[in-house]
Amino acid sequence: KRKKTWKKKNEYCGHISLRFIAVLGLLWMFSQLSQLKIGKSAAYILRYQWLDYANDDESPEKVCNCSAILQGEKEALQQAKLLTISKDFQKSIQIPDEYYIDATQDCRKFQINRKYITFPLSKEEEDFPLAYSMVVHHKVQNFERLLRAIYAPQNIYCVHVDKKAPASVFAAIKAITSCFPNVFMVSEAVNVVYAGWTRVQADLNCMADLYNTSTTWKYFINLCGQDFPLKTNLEIVQALRSLKGGNSLESEEMPQGKKGRVTNRTGKTKDPAPFNLPILSGNAYIVVNRGYIRSVLEDEQIQALIEWAKDTYSPDEFLWATIQRMPGVPGSTWPNRKFDVTDMNAIARLVKWHWHEGSEGSLQAVYPECKGHHVRSICVYGAGDLQWLIEQHHLFANKFDADRDPIAVYCLEKYLRHKALTE
């Protein structure tokens, strides 16, 4: 009996020893992986592969060779172009609004199936939360893919849906936002009118909500439903840190052709801007610190400027630019022309205007010709634009349309997700 008991004990101890050795072996393997040059990539495969956008997923776009497209290979681009104009493909990519309403009945399942990143990927990102305003008019698919691309649990997101949007759009977006504790619908929505004051008011309402909801975020970025990032969240954080408290947005001398915009729509001459503020030219997209937003919401001079701007044409194309040059606004610069910043030099947004495009080698062109199509003289990017886009320093680009060219969005999504997980 003693011999049998001893034998059993030895066998038991042997099993424990083998398990202990196996554990030690695994630990050694992980330590070796981390020391190899490819260790970072290998560790990523072991830890985060479930968050990557796999080639065997159910997306109709999976037939495209994104690596070749991002490298600008002509054959891959031609195949992508032919695919996007085929009726069967266009039919397969349409996602009804009702899909999102049904899919978000189980929020955890929705997050997992759509592969949202629900934990900070680095301490640097966790310690530098961002605030986003997202002004959406329609196209739920565009919005959801944008949200997924920029989502991080430490950030905060205010979503403004145009008051005149279809009921199904509002219901679908509300359902999506309800699945995330740091994403919320704006407290007061407005009817957004192109080139009118309400486009500014939509952002102002989100600014107030974001400012009052959280005290920890460092920078504010405003987006519309057809924007898409060109950088990962970590790259955005690093770019904003490098500003050292400054802001980044277009702000330059008002061109002669735009000066008429600061007269009201009836054609009557407006009084000069309050406090003789010089009116600068810019655009709707900004990257600004928390102090800038506090000034917009509380500063008496800025409140007077806002009231003065309400009856002007396209006030979003001068209001933020003018505030950026007001003395005392956190992160601002002097109004002197030497401090002018163009949209190409700012990091806020990359927009291709039709009249600035040109052939390769053209001395007059600002950027190469649009490979997608144009809406109101703005390029809606196609797959052929991606190689050029990812080389730019801007944080975001406008415009994308997942209904017209989903391959451009799909390949950019895959590129950014893989980069985020391997960083």
Query: Which residues carry out catalysis?
Result: 317
Segments of 260-400 assigned E as strands: 280-281, 287-289, 350-351, 357-358, 367-368, 373-375, 378-380, 396-398
H or E stretch including 270? none
Segments of 238-368 assigned E as strands: 252-253, 280-281, 287-289, 350-351, 357-358, 367-368
Residue 277 corresponds to which tokens in the numbers above?
A: 């503020």
User: Can you tell me the distance from the alpha carbon of 62 to that of 342, in angstroms, rounded to the nearest whole number?
Assistant: 37
Q: Contact 158/214 with Cβ under 8 angstroms?
A: no
- The closest of 371, 404, 364 to 389, measured between CA atoms, is 371
User: Can you tell me the distance from the alpha carbon of 202 to that of 244, in angstroms, rounded to the nearest whole number?
Assistant: 28
Burial bucket for residue 226 (CB in 10 Å: 0-12, 13-18, 19+): buried
Angle at 239 (CA atoms; ends 369, 316), nearest 5 degrees? 60
**How far is CA 275 from each of CA 158, 205, 318, 321, 328, rounded to the nearest angstrom?**
32, 25, 16, 16, 14
User: Can you tell me the distance from the alpha carbon of 162 to that of 254, in angstroms, rounded to the nearest whole number?
Assistant: 29
Q: CB under 8 Å to 110, separation ≥6 — which residues? A: 103, 104, 179
Q: CB under 8 Å to 370, separation ≥6 — which residues? A: 352, 354, 357, 379, 380, 381, 382, 385
Which residue do the tokens 């002509």 mark?
A: 74
SS3 351: strand
